[in-house]
Amino acid sequence: MAKDYTELAQDIVTHVGGKDNIVKLVHCVTRLRFTLKDESKADDEYLKQRDGIVTVVKAGGQYQVVIGNHVPDVYAAVTEVAGITGGGGIDVDEGDVSQGNLFDRFIALVSGLFQPMLGALSAAGMIKGLVAVMAAVGVPETDGAYVILNAAGDGFFQFLPLILALTAAKRFKMEQFTALAIGFALVYPNIAASFSAETPLYTLFKGTFIESPIYATFFGLPIIFPASSYLQTVLPIIVAVWIGSKIEGFFKKIIPDVVKVFVVPFFTILITVPLSFLVIGPVMSWASDLVGVIFTGIYGFSPVVYGLVLGAMWQVLVMFGLHWGLVPLAILELQKGPGVILVATVAICFAQAGSLLNIMFRTKEDKVKQLSIPAFISALFGVTEPAIYGITLPMRLPFIMTCVSGALTGAYLAFFDVHMQVMGGLGLFAIPSFIEPDNAMTLIHFLIAIVANFVIGFILTQFVKIPYLYGGPAAEAGASDANASVQKAAPLKEIKQEILSSPLTGQVVNLADVPDEVFASGAMGEGIAVEPTIGEVLAPVKAEITLVFPSKHAIGMRTENGAELLIHVGMDTVSLDGKGFESFVAVGDQVKAGQKLLSFDIETIKAAGLPVTAPVIVTNSDAFTDILTTQERDVVAGDYLLTAVK
C-alpha cells in the first residue's frame, strides 16, 4: 500500500510560506523545485530538520526541498494540498517558458494555453467537418439543423478569444472574470460596424503601406480597428490579458483591501480595454499590412519563390494572426476572377493530417492517440487548430515538417501556375474551388498537392522523434506526476557485496567535490562522481531499470543483489528538458553490464553553463556497512569504480 504523504506535504507547503507564496513547482529525480515569491518566508531550519526531508538547497533562483527517491509521491501530495493542477494558476510544467529562444518560449506559452481546451477544440473541429459535409450534399444554410450544428462547431472558433482569456488568466495569475471582461470587449457584437463608415474622419500615414483610415476616436486618439475584427484571433487576447495582469497586479498593491474586490477590476478593465483597441489593434493591423506588402513583393520577384515561402510560413502567420494581410487581398482578387494569392496555402492542412497519422502509429501515449483521431478528421476538412495547438506544435519537429511540406507543395502549385476559381470550402471541400472549365490540369495539380502534402507530412514525421506530451506511460497509468517515469521493482533479493564498474569514462571526482551540496554532503547516499570525457553511460552491472527521467539526464537501477543506484549526468541538467540527451532503455528493462543506457552531448551541457560532473550514488547506502571507491584518478567505462560492502 502506498504511503500517505499528506501530512508531510502540508508541512512543506506551510513552511515554504504557504500556497500563495508558490509561483511555480516542478520536481527532478530527488527534489521538489519551488519558485517562491519571497524566499524569506520559507522556514529553512524547520524543513531541514523535518522527518521525510533530506535538506534544503537554494540555487538557480529555486528553493529546492530534497526528498529522495519518493519525490514523485511527495510531489503529488504537495500539488494536492496546494491546489496545483496542470491547468491551474501555478505552472507545474517541467519546461519553463522563460527558457529557450523567443520562438520556443512562444510555442511553450501558446501550447500551454490551448492544452486545457483540446478535447472541446477537437470536437468543435469535427462538427465543423460534419457541417461541411452537409453543405456539400446540398443542405441549405437556412436549414435549422445546419444553423444549429454550424453554431455548435463554428461558435467555439469564433469566440476562441474568450476561452483563451480564461487560460491566459490562469497562466498570468489574473482574475479570470476580469480577463473575460477584456475578451468580451474585443469580440463585442457589431463593434466593427462602429468603426467603419463610408467616409473616414481622416487617414493616418497616407501613401504608406500602413495607411490607416480613421472612422472613430477615443478622446481624440485614433482607433485603428482590424478589418478582420478580433473574432477567431489568438495573439491579441493573450497580449491583452498579459498587459491586464500587470495592471491588475499594480492596483492590487495600492488599493485598500476593503474596496479591492471591485475597484481593482474597475481600473484594470478601464485601462486594459482601451489599450487593447488603441495599441494592440494598430500593431496587429500594421504587422498584417507589412506581411501583405512583403509577400506581394516576393510574388512580383518570383511566383515560385512566393509559393515556397508562403507555403513554409503560412501556419506560423496564422498562429500570430498575420495572415490577415493576405486574406483581404485574396478576396479582392477573386472578385475579379481566378486568383493565386492563397493557392499555396489551401492544401497544407493535409500535411498536418499526414503528420498526425504518423504520430498516431508511433506515439506510446494513449492520450495523444485519442486526441489525434478527432484532430486528424478535422484536418481533412481544413480545421487544423486541434492538430497544431494540441499535438504537432508542442512536439516542435512534426510541426516544422508540415511547414517543409507546405513549402514544397506551394512551390509546385506556383510553378504550374495553378489558380483558385472561387473562395470555397476548406480541406477536402476546397477541391471544387479548383475546377476550371476547359482546363482539367488545374484540378489535377491541386489533387497532386493534396496527396503530396499528406505523404510528405507522413514521411518527414517518420524521421523525427515523437516526444511525450503527457509524461509517458507512468502518467497514463495514473502516476501522480507527468514528469517522471518511475515504477516499483520486484521484491529485493538478500543484499550481498556489490562490485560496480564505472558507467562513464573520464576523471574521477570525490563526492565531496561535486558542485551540489546535496550530492556532496552524501544526503542522497554514498558514492563517487566522474567528470566525463565521453558522452555515454553504460550499465555498471546486471540490473533492472527502475527510473528513466523524461529529460534523460538521470537513470536509476537496482542490481541483482539489491543495491539501488542513481546515475545523474551533470548538475541541474533537468533544465535542458532532454536537449542533448538520448535514452536507450525504459523502466522495467533488464540490462547487462556494459549495455548502453544513455548518451549525452557534453558541449550542449557546457554551453548551457552547467557542470557535467556525473555522480554515481548508492541511494540505499544505509543497507551496507561501507562503500569503497576507486583510488584511480581516471577511469574508462568498465573499469572498477566502487564496492558496496554489507
Catalytically active residues, by annotation: 28
Longest dimension (CA), the chain: 91
Query: Terminal CA-to-CA distance of the chain, rounded, Å?
Result: 28
Distance CA 178, CA 523 (A): 47
Distance CA 52, CA 71 (A): 10
Nearest to 365 by CA among 464, 463, 475, 462: 475
Alpha-carbon dihedral sign for residues 225, 231, 237, 239: negative
Nearest to 402 by CA among 314, 294, 304, 306: 314
586 and 545 in contact (C-beta within 8 Å)?
yes
Strand order in the sheet with 498-501: 498-501, 640-645, 626-629
Rg of the chain over all Cα atoms, to the nearest angstrom: 29
Q: Give CA separation, 271 vs 97, 256, 284, 285, 300, in Å.
A: 27, 19, 19, 21, 43
> CA torsion 620→623→625→627, rounded to 10°?
-20
Q: Give CA separation, 194 vs 190, 197, 214, in Å.
A: 7, 8, 11
Nearest to 9 by CA among 57, 53, 64, 69: 53
The residue count for the chain: 646
